[in-house]
Structure 1
């Protein structure tokens, strides 16, 4: 593949802004073969949308193309319908059992407390002072489980995300497996603990009646805890970075769902979703063979000029906005509503209280292509 290769995305400049590379690939073909990782790189919106929605031709459960999957990895995230449908419906029941109004009040109180601690500082690290602790607080409150120590949880969660890039960094695979096992042990303690009525108590009680195996429920709760934390906390950081690069006089508070969804389109941290092709098919004019991998670059698709007017501009009243930041199809993000609430509270509060907030230094990006993140983001209020 001439020009930028998949390895180019690990360059620090690309981790902060991969769109020049995405545009080069898209210019050659919205569906482009990468011999480096033997996968199709999907940068076009319609092509990505199709593969995400079509679970018959493009699977998340790789056993359907003959790949062995350990039982510890069978979850909401890795199963396809009809098995996936049962666990998804049970998890949706869990969201209904959670007190989302109380959760919103709790998030606001936790944010006020965190901001009070940093308000007088010349600058502070938004990642470790706001984004990560606030999101961990929100996710554990949503699940109705005991507080999890950030110093223990956060490094393991980041290690799991590193493992998602194992096709580019093979050395990250085994540590990711070990980190999952350690989080699984934590989740296992919830099954026998007396939990307050809410998300986890409800799904544990209802699992057998809903036809969901205990191991699948266990793995799925681990996924909701870890993925919910990572996606939301990394979005807070990526979103704030994008907002603070806009001159103060041109900014506006991102304090409603319409604006939050535009920020998701413009600056979502989730850049890659991969599937395996179940049968020979055609996508974007390319012949995809059974067993081949298709990697949807959601960050690229969300700026496809065929799908969005002025795709490289943040238009806070953009509607309709059919972005792919929360995925599509059977595996669309279950927690999109909660992630939107967290973002609306944080960005709205910061925008109204601190309209002149600024970046103190360029951030230090994490070497993740699948899900972009930052080690630190220093901000002055």
Structure 2
């Protein structure tokens, strides 16, 4: 594959801005074969949307194409309908039981405390002082489980994200397995302990009744904790970085769902979702064979000029906004509303309270292609 390769995405400049590479690939073909990792790279919106929606032809459960999956990895995230449908509906029941009003109140109160601690400083790291502790606090509150020490949880969570890129960095796979096992032990303690009424207590009580096996419930709760934390906290970081690179007069206060959806289209952290092709099919004029990997670059699809006018610019009034930042189809992000509430609260508060906030230095990106993030983001309010 001439030009930029998949390995180019690990360059620090590309981790902060992969879009020049995405545009090059898209210019060659929205559906492009990469012999290095033996996968199809999808940068077109229509093609990515098709794959995300079509669980019959493109699977998340790789057992359907003969790939063994350890029982510890069978979850909401890796099952396909109809097994997936039961656990997804149960988790949606849990979200309705917990409600989103409490998430916003809890997030706002804790944000005020964290900002008060940071206000007197000439500058601070937004990642470790605000984004990570705030999101973990909000997610554990939503789940109705005891608070978790960020110093213990956050490194393990990042190790799991690193393992999602194991096709590019094989050395990350085994540490990811170990980190999942540690989070699983934590979740197991929740399942066996009395908890106040809320998300976790509800799904644990209802699981057997609706036909969800204990191991699937266990793994899925781990996924909700891990993915909920990572997606929301990394969006706070990638979103704030994008905002503070705009001139103050162009930022607008991101204090409503319309604006949050535009920011996540433009600067969302989740860049790749992969599926396996279940049966020979044609996508974007290309022949996809059974068993081949199809990797959708959501960050690229969200700037496809065929779908989005002025796609490389932020337009706060963009509507409709059919972005793929939270996925689509059966595996669409279960916690999209939660991530939106947290983002609306944080970006709205900062935008109104600190309109002159600024970056103090270029951030140091994490070496993650699948889900972008930063080690640090130094800002001044």
Normalising by structure 1, we get a TM-score of 1.00
Aligned equivalent of 2:264:
264
What CA distance in whole angstroms lies between the structure 1 residues aligned with 2:150 and 2:270? 22
Question: SS where residue 317 of structure 1 aligns?
Answer: coil
Q: Structure 1, residues 14-41: CA drift from partner, whole Å, max 9, x if none? A: 0000000000000000000000000000
1:18 aligns with 2:18: yes
In the TM superposition, what are the counterparts of 1:145-294 in structure 2 within 5 Å?
Answer: 145-294=145-294
What CA distance in whole angstroms lies between the structure 2 residues aligned with 1:39 and 1:176? 22
Normalising by structure 2, we get a TM-score of 1.00
Question: SS where residue 253 of structure 2 aligns?
Answer: coil
Aligned equivalent of 2:372:
372
What CA distance in whole angstroms lies between the structure 1 residues aligned with 2:251 and 2:290? 47
Structure 2 stretches lacking a partner, 5+ long: none
What CA distance in whole angstroms lies between the structure 1 residues aligned with 2:65 and 2:352? 51
What CA distance in whole angstroms lies between the structure 1 residues aligned with 2:76 and 2:136? 20
In the TM superposition, what are the counterparts of 1:316-331 in structure 2 within 5 Å?
Answer: 316-331=316-331
Aligned equivalent of 1:6:
6
**1:99 Cα deviation after fit:** 3.5
**1:249 Cα deviation after fit:** 2.4
**1:278 Cα deviation after fit:** 0.1
What CA distance in whole angstroms lies between the structure 2 residues aligned with 1:170 and 1:340? 33
What CA distance in whole angstroms lies between the structure 2 residues aligned with 1:373 and 1:104? 23
In the TM superposition, what are the counterparts of 1:339-358 in structure 2 within 5 Å?
Answer: 339-358=339-358
What CA distance in whole angstroms lies between the structure 1 residues aligned with 2:213 and 2:83? 10
1:27 aligns with 2:27: yes
Q: Structure 1, residues 333-364: CA drift from partner, whole Å, max 9, x if none? A: 01111110000000000000000000000000
What CA distance in whole angstroms lies between the structure 1 residues aligned with 2:288 and 2:158? 33
Question: SS where residue 168 of structure 1 aligns?
Answer: coil
**1:251 Cα deviation after fit:** 1.8
Question: SS where residue 273 of structure 1 aligns?
Answer: strand
Comparing 287-296 with 101-110, greater Cα deviation is found at 101-110
In the TM superposition, what are the counterparts of 1:59-78 in structure 2 within 5 Å?
Answer: 59-78=59-78
Structure 1 stretches lacking a partner, 5+ long: none
Q: Structure 1, residues 144-203: CA drift from partner, whole Å, max 9, x if none? A: 000111000000000000000000000000000000000000000001111000000000
Aligned equivalent of 1:307:
307
What CA distance in whole angstroms lies between the structure 2 residues aligned with 1:139 and 1:121? 27
- Paired residues, what number? 381
What CA distance in whole angstroms lies between the structure 1 residues aligned with 2:28 and 2:55? 27
What CA distance in whole angstroms lies between the structure 2 residues aligned with 1:101 and 1:292? 43
What CA distance in whole angstroms lies between the structure 2 residues aligned with 1:321 and 1:286? 27
Structural RMSD (CA): 0.5
What CA distance in whole angstroms lies between the structure 2 residues aligned with 1:291 and 1:310? 36
Q: Structure 1, residues 68-108: CA drift from partner, whole Å, max 9, x if none? A: 00000000000000000000000000001103212211110
What CA distance in whole angstroms lies between the structure 1 residues aligned with 2:67 and 2:100? 39
What CA distance in whole angstroms lies between the structure 2 residues aligned with 1:66 and 1:249? 54
What CA distance in whole angstroms lies between the structure 2 residues aligned with 1:103 and 1:28? 44
The runs of at least 4 consecutive aligned structure 1 residues that moved more than 4 Å come to none
